[in-house]
A and B are shown apart, each in its own frame.
Chain A
Amino acid sequence: MTNAMGVLIVEDEMLLAMDIEAMVEDSGHRVLGEAASLKDVQALTNAITPQLAFVDLHLADDSNGLEVSRFIQERWPDALIVFITANVARIPEDFAGAHGVIAKPFSHAGIANAINYLADGVSNPPPTTAQPASFTPSPHLQRRWAANQGVK
């Protein structure tokens, strides 16, 4: 059985943040914090340890998901970072260190399947679940899971 993950949602469109939050909770995981900008993310308490962060590329206060990705890697190096964006082409080749992307417009199925897949991988890497079509992994993810293999 997969363990519940702590999830961070970084999205400046409140409606989408609410929707993603609901889908995360529906999948049996917990939302630890929400942020609309890099500043918001920096203001989050150090007490939380998210295993997964959903990050939009376009964020409030002229900040962007790439900056947030780098910040999260520093503060929570164990967290998986997944971009959720309508602008997949804008992601640099190295994904700014992030682990994958879900393209907007997302479907309930797309998000739910990606969450299940990632949760499976977090608790027992690499995941036995098939990689869903909605989720495109970056090379960092395979590397992470190869390194964590057998570590519980």
Chain B
Amino acid sequence: MKQRDDWRLTDTLEYEHGRGDPFAAAVRATRMPMVVTDPSLPDNPIVFCNVAFQTLTGYEREEIIGRNCRFLQGPDTDSTTIDRVRAAIKDGRDVDVDLLNYRKDGTTFWNALYLSPVRDTDGVLRFFFASQMDVTERVEAQKAISQQKELVEREVERRTADLRAALDAKTILLHEVDHRVKNNLTMIGSLLRLQVRSIDDPIMTTKLDSMLERVDALAVVHRQLYQSSDISSFDIGSFAENLTRDVVGASGRTDIAISIDSQPLFIDAANASALGLILNEILTNSIKHAYADGRPGILSVLVTNVDDRGVIRLCDDGPGISSTQRTKSIGTSLITRLARQARAEAVWTSNSPGTCVTITFPKREAGK
């Protein structure tokens, strides 16, 4: 009871300038709005408020004293936050919340409310002490930021969806084009093969067969390119191995042994067709000339790299071929021209017995 009377005493302090409790004087004079409520009275009314509180809320002291704090609430005050405050009061705990409050003139402000119980020496709850702070600017700024953030996120989401749709469309298109190219290449191959069967002239047949082999080689390049996850690079190493097995297998020549020392070797996809055709010309040439008339032998393929260039060496152990003979064939001029296109180099050397062709070409630039 004594304590409560002390608080009452401060009521008159204002009028008795400077007399009484200096702490009470500080509470009166501080710029921080403060109230004290008395939970022992019905509906826990406000028994003290300072001037800063009056200024903040716009109410006169007479309008404040004796009322429960809820008179500051309004229609937009968050009810869950109110419940938190109520629960704290009921349990005699302190609580720290941001609450939307209403001034006398109906305008609103964000109130950073800190409420704590005041107990006497016996631990009996005597008062609640509440300090307020107008944090409208901070809350509004936070709201603005979160709205901005939401806006940005929505926009990012929308653009991501757009990009994904565009990528899907591109993937479908790529797939469709790949499918059509494959079907067309298959048809071209079939047409050539059917044509070859209808021609009796062996010279014509040989020429068409060479044509067919080239189309087949291009088909293998395309197939391998679109089977890989990265269509901008091409593994010429496994291509060389597959093509060698394919070409020798197609010749039906079980007496030609294959020796392959291969490794994955990546080149730019743009050069895949040119290098694929070069390899095809060299391989088919070897089988036709080095192993002519049923001559058995070993065809060896080495895939390696020297510095930043890829190297493929194809060697036969046939009788060898003179350079004058070689320069006359369309195959040789194809190799020369295609090599220039792919910035590659083809060099013929004697293998005694036989011939080696070494092709060096640019590897795919790392990190490209």
Chain A residues close to B by CB (< 8 Å): 13, 15-16, 18-19, 22-23, 86-88, 103-110, 112-113, 116, 130, 132-134
Contact = CB atoms under 8 A, between A and B. Distances in A.
A103 B182 CA distance: 9
Interface in B213-254: 216-217, 219-220, 222-223, 227, 241-242, 245-247, 249-250, 252
B187 interface: yes
A88 B182 CA distance: 11
A132 B187 contact: no
Ranked 5 nearest A-B pairs via Cβ: A109-B250, A107-B216, A19-B190, A105-B219, A86-B182
B191 A15 contact: yes
A87 B227 CA distance: 10
Given A86-B179, A107-B189, 13 more contacts: A16-B186, A16-B190, A88-B227, A104-B223, A105-B186, A105-B189, A107-B219, A107-B220, A113-B249, A116-B249, A130-B245, A132-B245, A133-B246
B146 interface: no
B209 to A, nearest CB: 9
Contacts of A23: 193
B246 A110 contact: yes
23 contacts: A13-B187, A15-B187, A15-B191, A18-B194, A19-B189, A19-B190, A19-B194, A86-B186, A104-B182, A105-B219, A106-B219, A107-B216, A107-B250, A108-B212, A108-B250, A109-B249, A110-B216, A110-B220, A110-B246, A112-B249, A112-B252, A113-B245, A132-B246
B247 A109 contact: yes
B190 A15 contact: yes
Contacts of B178: 86
Contacts, number: 83
A107 B245 CA distance: 12
A122 B216 CA distance: 27
A15 B194 contact: yes
A150 B223 CA distance: 36
A23 to B, nearest CB: 7
Nearest to B218: A105
B206 to A, nearest CB: 14
B349 interface: no
A99 B216 CA distance: 24
Contacts of B194: 15, 18-19, 22
B368 interface: no
Interface centre among B178, B197, B220, B242 (most CB of A within 10 A): B220
Contact of B186 (A18, A104, A112, A130): A104
Interface string B78-112: 00000000000000000000000000000000000
B183 interface: yes
Contact of B246 (A19, A86, A109, A116): A109
A105 B178 CA distance: 11
Nearest to A134: B246
Nearest to B183: A86
Contacts of A87: 179
B126 to A, nearest CB: 76
A84 B182 CA distance: 12
B135 interface: no
Contact of A109 (B183, B186, B216): B216
A13 B246 CA distance: 24
Interface in B151-199: 178-179, 182-183, 185-187, 189-191, 193-194, 197
A103 B223 contact: yes
A108 B216 contact: yes
A114 B149 CA distance: 60
A16 B187 contact: yes
B283 to A, nearest CB: 11
Contacts of B197: 22
A102 B317 CA distance: 32
Nearest to A16: B190
Given A13-B187, A22-B197, A132 B182 contact: no
Nearest to A113: B249
A103 to B, nearest CB: 5
Contacts of A107: 189, 216-217, 219-220, 246, 250
A44 to B, nearest CB: 23
A116 B253 CA distance: 13
